[in-house]
A and B are shown apart, each in its own frame.
Chain A
Amino acid sequence: MATTREIEIGDSVASVAASLAEGHGIREIDGDRMVLNMGPSHPSTHGVLRIVLELDGEVITKATPDIGYLHRGDEKIAENMTYTQFIPYTDRLDYLAPLANNVAYSLAVEKLLDVHDKLPLRCQYIRVICCELARISAHLLGLGAFAMDVGALTVFLHTFTEREKIYSLCESLTGARFTTSYTRIGGVARDTPAGWIDALEKFLLEVEVNFDESEKLLTRNRIWVDRTRNVGVISREDAIDYGITGPNLRGSGVDYDVRKAHPYLIYDQLEFDVPLGSVGDCYDRYLVRMEEMRQSVRIIRQCIKGLPGGRDNQGGEAVNLDDGKIVLPPKAKVLTSMEELIHQFMLVTQGVNAPKGEIYFGAENPKGELGFYINSLGGGTPNRLKIRAPSFVNLSILPELLKGCLISDVVAILGSIDFVMGECDR
């Protein structure tokens, strides 16, 4: 016998919507609680997150996140274009770390093509540099925005100075400051330009000074510590239960980093530490991010040292797969050789000819594990592409986390979770 179950959706989101429809004037007053609509346009909801807060005085009794204001249907869009054409869309997921998204997506497609471990070494090194540069960039913004939400505006501007330098590096590497679209299936769009590695090294020296400055302003600042310590505590168990990944998970003391647990690219040959928190509060998450940036610098330094072909590729190392069916051939050859012409034609019109099958690939992005699940029926376009967005998953703990906090804690917690709505809403 079939049983039916009524699902009652009597949440505060609906009630706010209803009272909005009634018109202005003091709305709701549901008993002695006040419903406060925070976002989608609010200075500290970092984009378009909306949280409906039910307040008892300044204490939150219920928090209902409402997402989807930035939904663009990226997953559906992917089904209607070739794998290569989707790369620019990945820029717009976590738009604070487009390089890392590019790398993660390309690796997913390469895993489907089963060439992900055959990539030329130089390509892998460059991709790791890109990932870590993106991590520094995203964490700098996360840190700055977190500090700004708690009231320390100066940190934000200091970290932005460094991000601007990262953008300049991106510009000379990829041609774009923000939407990089740097990787290609089977390689990268172009090799590092002359002098780029030197510029990168100079930047690393400067950014380390900046880390120290930010730490001086915050780490032992009494007000900062008071505002973040024991606020928004995510226990180890909760973190795992909610599927939280990235610095938020490690802040709770769970030793899981995709780069260590399931190494991709050359991460298994690099030396770096995975910082862990002990309590799982906002302060731990802040410290973890701070240390991760330092580790990223360490990783980049190793990559520069071991970069095959030397700084400006005097050795002439390949940066792309030597496979005409995956990587576009050089233009000069296209115009002179029949085979290359056919490859070019097929790749541009049909895309790479992916085999039938399905794969999941997760990469350690700044916000957490960015996963791509690709279901392919063969041919140049995916049948289904699912993006596991870390911000989306990390935000799922909000109702639990915000209950019992003060309004001021909401901004601290949101800042410490460090989400990007472009990725969350996709």
Chain B
Amino acid sequence: MDAGLLSFLIFSAVKIGVVFGAVMTMFAYAVLAERKISAAIQDRVGPNRVSFPLIGSIPVIGPFLTRLGIWQPLVDGVKAFTKEDYTPEHVRKGWFWLAPMVAMVPSVLVLAVIPFGSSMDFGKVFGLDFGRQAMVIADLNVGILYTFGIVSLSVYGIVLAGYASNSKFPFLGGIRASAQMISYEIAMGMSVVPVFMIIGELNLSDIIAYQAENGWLAFPLFASKMNTDAFVLLPCMVVSFLIFTVSAFAETNRLPFDLPEAETELVSGYNTEYGSMKFAFFFMGEYIAMIAGSAMIVVLFFGGWTLPFWGLDQTADTLVKGVLQILIFVGKLSVFLGMMIWVRWMLPRFRYDQLMDLGWRRILPLALANIVLTAVLIYWNHAS
């Protein structure tokens, strides 16, 4: 086999493994963050009981980590895996088993095109020349189209769960999900069109490269060269960012758009009949979709892995810098993840018709108007 192909295969496998592992860890700690942040908002303590055998008995640090709930995700995982996998009598078996997987897989697939760092030079390892490798699993030219294609699949898992449960509350949840997610997907798609009109590329790595040079789209301060064009286009980008964020909430079924779940109305919505790991898959799907959504926000509007100081917006020339850029990306992503969690605990839920109204009659026209305005401003920028 050709050495280049071999190193590509090995490195891709490593990247997939590392990204998947990292995202699973982030999922686990996002759940912990959700519980801790909600506890802080609601004047509670949150998980603070699980202690790890040896580390727990280290003076100061052990109890501190316990109080932080650091070990909680571990026992949560153990609990979900060891719980009896119960399938109710009345469900449509095959679909019932399929639904959680269909719900989770798309959100994981989206991660494939997200650049989480610049390229890093690994040189020779075990006699194989890895050379420079981009920190993205698949550097697709149609990255964003791929994203939207995959995201639209995630609705099937929920609709399928509603159908397969063969029970009324999940069924209503499934119906709501289908209408909601399709509506907001359109708004989401429209909201990113201005981004591509400005940059002229669909490849997410190129979008980051453009932002490194011209300043972040939704926050063009500290650009390496001050760009007046960016400030003219700023209002459009901010609107795009807001629409994209709102749609991301709706796509991930988070409050105030958690109608498919709506625990006070539909008991637990589409996942009412699910338990143990099958339920955990829906949960994972939701959280990974949140992570992917935050990652998309960061990539599209906030410069991805770049930071406009200390040369961190350039391709990494050392491994340390490369790792630092990955951490920057994770940091930015966490901010938006935290925002998603924060919003959930502050707002009531929309009603079904209000949700549709907001999606079709407010957000979609706004997104369309935004496209037109961006076009006009770009034309004006070029003319002047």
- Interface residue ranges, A against B (CB under 8 Å): 24-26, 34, 36-37, 42-44, 58, 147-154, 157-158, 161, 217-218, 221, 223-224, 226-227, 406-411
Contacts and interface: CB of A to CB of B under 8 A. Distances in A.
B172 A58 contact: yes
A406 B264 contact: no
Interface in B243-291: 255-256, 258-259, 262-267
A227 B348 contact: yes
A226 B255 CA distance: 15
Given A26-B166, A36-B168, A411-B264, A221 B351 contact: no
A157 B256 CA distance: 18
Contact of B348 (A26, A157, A224, A409): A224
B90 A406 contact: no
Contacts of B347: 151-152, 221, 223
Given A24-B89, A58-B172, A151-B255, A409 B351 contact: yes
Contact of B350 (A154, A157, A223): A223
Given A25-B90, A43-B263, A153-B42, A408 B345 contact: no
Nearest to A414: B264
Contacts of A408: 259, 262, 265, 349, 351-352
State the 10 A-B residue pairs at the shortest beta-carbon distance, nearest first. A151-B349, A157-B42, A151-B348, A152-B348, A408-B351, A44-B264, A150-B348, A149-B264, A24-B90, A223-B348
Given A221-B347, A221-B348, A226-B351, A410 B265 contact: yes
B2 interface: no
A407 B258 CA distance: 14
Given A157-B44, A407-B172, A151 B352 contact: no
A34 B169 CA distance: 11
A149 B264 CA distance: 5
Which of A147, A151, A158, A221 is packed against the most chain B CB atoms within 10 Å? A151
Which of A149, A150, A153 is packed against the most chain B CB atoms within 10 Å? A153
Nearest to B256: A223
Contacts of B348: 147, 150-152, 218, 221, 223-224, 227
Nearest to B44: A157
A406 B351 contact: yes
B142 to A, nearest CB: 36
A58 B352 contact: yes
B346 A154 contact: yes
B41 interface: yes
A158 B41 CA distance: 9
Given A161-B43, A221-B347, 6 more contacts: A42-B267, A152-B346, A154-B38, A154-B345, A226-B354, A407-B352
A217 B90 CA distance: 42
A154 B42 contact: yes
B172 A223 contact: no
A148 B353 CA distance: 20
B264 A43 contact: yes
A158 B353 CA distance: 29
Contact of A151 (B43, B169, B256): B256
11 contacts: A24-B90, A25-B90, A42-B267, A44-B264, A150-B348, A151-B256, A151-B349, A153-B345, A154-B41, A407-B352, A410-B265
Contacts of B90: 24-25
Interface in B109-168: 166, 168
Interface residues of B, number: 31
B186 to A, nearest CB: 21
Interface string B163-197: 00010110010000000000000000000000000
A226 B264 contact: no
A130 B348 CA distance: 33
A410 B265 CA distance: 8
A43 B267 contact: yes
Contacts of A406: 351-353
A219 B41 CA distance: 18
Interface in B333-363: 345-354
Given A24-B90, A217-B346, A44 B265 contact: yes
Given A157-B42, A158-B43, A410-B265, A226 B168 contact: no
Nearest to A147: B348
Nearest to A53: B168
A176 B316 CA distance: 67
A236 to B, nearest CB: 26
Nearest to A213: B43
Contacts of B267: 42-43
A158 B42 contact: yes
A161 B255 CA distance: 23
Contacts of A26: 166
Contacts of B255: 151
B93 to A, nearest CB: 14
Given A58-B172, A154-B42, A154-B346, A227 B351 contact: yes
Contacts of A217: 346
A157 B166 CA distance: 34
A408 to B, nearest CB: 4
Contacts of A148: 264
Contacts of B353: 406
Contact of B266 (A151, A221, A407, A409): A407
A223 B259 CA distance: 14
Contacts of B169: 36
A197 B113 CA distance: 65
Nearest to B166: A26
Contacts of A218: 348
Contacts of A58: 172, 352
Contacts of B263: 43
A151 B263 CA distance: 8
Contacts of B352: 58, 406-408
A43 B268 CA distance: 9
A412 to B, nearest CB: 8
A161 B39 CA distance: 13
Contacts of B166: 26
Contacts of A223: 256, 347-350, 354
A289 B264 CA distance: 21
Nearest to B357: A226
Nearest to B350: A223
